Chains A and B, each alone.
Chain A
Amino acid sequence: MSVLVFVENISGNFKKSAYEVVSYAKTIAKSVNKELVAISIGDVSEENLLNLGKYGANKILTVNADNLKSFVNQAYASIIAQAAKQEDAKIIVLSNSFSGKGLAPRIAAKLEAGLADGVVELPKIDGESFEVKKTAFSGKAFAITALRSDIKVLALNANSFEIREDAVEAAIVNFEGSPSQEDFGAVVKDIVRATDKISLPEAEIVVSGGRGLKGPENWGIIEDLAKALGAATACSKPVSDAGWRPHAEHVGQTGIAVSPNLYIAIGISGAIQHLAGVSSSKVIVVINKDPEAPFFKVADYGIIGDAFDIVPKLTAAINAHKDS
């Protein structure tokens, strides 16, 4: 028996969330006295693979083929399910990333496994009982979910488990998954990635702007602050609806849910639908000229005033802080 963790790579490199899921899965594996097996699909260097050993992966299954270089939902699910059977994995962990969200249900269905997505804590395992905490109602609540199947699949939210070093000697093993021809129906035509941008769902700091910014031409002050902080940029729904910013930046109940260490909301009122997707941020800073803006009720720090005055000053102060 083992615990299996799927580690996602981007162009051959593991992201922070990959180390988060390995650390999380290792902690579970230790608590149930099992080996941690990691599976990586695609073209990843041996050096990068061995790195997973630092976080506790005892064995690393690597699968590579020309048609597996980019993410193909069905084929990846098929390979991971086969690996789970080979390794007799009873717990399978992946990241609740965009790709993970496509993958997890397909793996779960293949194995008739109960799936908990949006997981934010370690499971409580007691004999046959297995309970795990996940977000629900768009972040307005949590649901403690019992998984009752023989095999369990957990999709872990970004930024909800800290990376822990736990070095072990890792063995790299080639794994020959055999997805069927029909698993390759979907063909990736193009990938467009802004390499200089920080991925919003995983970002540790998010700088977000709302309708108070008045128009897309004013977004420079948001971007400058984000740049100074090494943060991702985000926006409220009316901003993306108006086409000032792309939909990919819209956070909230009907946008992306984020839980960074620091969320800075600028010119955003704090409507319930916006708060739903951002309220699990560890620290919230609000800048708004309206002292009655509901966002101040959930903020840790607030500045009442005009964003066009305050934000450039703040950016300058951050840059000065970095230099000091």
Chain B
Amino acid sequence: MKVLVCISNVPDTTSKITFSNGDTEFNTTGIQFIVNPYDEIALSKAIELSEGGKGTITVINVGEASTEPTIRKALATGADKAVRVNAHPRDAWFVANQIANYAKHEDFDLILLGRESIDYNGTQVAGLVGELLNIPSVSIAKKISIEDNKATIEREIEGGKEIISVPLPIAIGTAEGVAEPRIPNMRGIMSARTKPLEVIDAIEVPQLAKVIKYETPAPRGAVTLIDAAEAEKLVDLLHTKARVI
């Protein structure tokens, strides 16, 4: 099985998010970048499916040279080779087109992505890649098993789940539950240095969406504390003051 895993380079989950240049740019000063947590799940699933020589894993990242530590981390975790599309990943449509353009000639059986990146939270790329390659896509998968060229996928739906059967090839956005994230071991870290990391040029894509300004949520007022012995007072406040019950 030939698996492509898409890796996004995102700010660490503990990052305090600030903006610069009149709130038009994300401020990367002091920010640590990591493999997007959902992509770690995708990669771990790919490793699980390929174990014992059953498959090969290519990771792809659309990003400038500064993302290479993130790509090396994916190689150290267990991918066989990596591709970096040398460009600033300006929006989901751009990224999806680069991935689809690369995948077009490679006959991957499976394209795994994280359900969303924790920076722009689009949940777009899996569906866009599926459509661009004219293959099925599942945007939020909670469980995946593969047999006889078919994927059985548990998908989250409102108030429950749905089990679907989909022929390969397919693009799947993975969520928590699909696999336990793995961490690189020393052998992985050593071997990652010698694994191939190919750099390719981006194709031109029209820009359909552009972030023009960022805002941060309005700060909340101070907390109103209620004595533990008077829990019923909370009910009263929620009813009369906050008007939410």
Which residues of A are in contact with B by a Cβ distance under 8 Å?
A: 10, 15, 70-71, 73-74, 77, 97-99, 101-106, 108-110, 112-118, 131, 133, 135-149, 182, 185-195, 197-199, 201-202, 204-205, 229, 240, 247-248, 250, 253-255, 257, 261-262, 272-273, 276, 279-280, 282-286, 296-306, 309-310, 313-314, 317-318, 320-321
Contacts and interface: CB of A to CB of B under 8 A. Distances in A.
Given A15-B158, A109-B128, A282-B244, A301 B209 contact: no
Contacts of A74: 130, 136-137
Contact of A303 (B122, B162, B234): B234
Given A15-B158, A254-B118, A189 B152 contact: yes
A229 B239 CA distance: 12
A148 B131 contact: no
Given A303-B234, A321-B235, 16 more contacts: A10-B158, A105-B131, A113-B208, A115-B93, A115-B208, A185-B167, A192-B163, A193-B158, A240-B176, A247-B176, A262-B245, A280-B217, A282-B244, A301-B237, A310-B228, A317-B235
A192 to B, nearest CB: 5
A194 B225 contact: no
B119 interface: yes
Contacts of A182: 134
Contacts of A255: 176
Nearest to A15: B158
Interface in B24-39: 37-38
Contact of B118 (A137, A191, A262): A137
Contact of A116 (B118, B119, B209): B209
* Top-8 shortest CB links A-B: A105-B127, A305-B228, A193-B160, A114-B208, A109-B131, A102-B139, A317-B232, A199-B158
Given A109-B128, A110-B131, A313-B231, A253 B13 contact: yes
B186 interface: no
B216 A140 contact: yes
Given A133-B215, A146-B212, A248-B142, A299 B223 contact: yes
Given A148-B210, A188-B164, A247-B175, A301 B127 contact: no
Given A105-B124, A106-B131, A317-B232, A145 B211 contact: yes
B166 interface: yes
Contact of A194 (B125, B127, B160, B175): B160
B127 A104 contact: yes
A309 B228 CA distance: 9
B232 A135 contact: no
B52 interface: no
A189 B163 contact: yes
A189 B159 contact: no
A134 to B, nearest CB: 8
29 contacts: A73-B137, A104-B127, A105-B92, A105-B128, A105-B130, A105-B137, A109-B93, A114-B209, A136-B121, A136-B214, A137-B118, A137-B121, A142-B217, A143-B211, A182-B134, A185-B167, A189-B163, A191-B163, A197-B159, A240-B176, A262-B244, A282-B244, A283-B244, A301-B237, A303-B226, A310-B231, A314-B235, A320-B232, A321-B239
Interface string B133-147: 010111110100000
A309 to B, nearest CB: 7
Nearest to B224: A301
Contacts of A142: 214-217
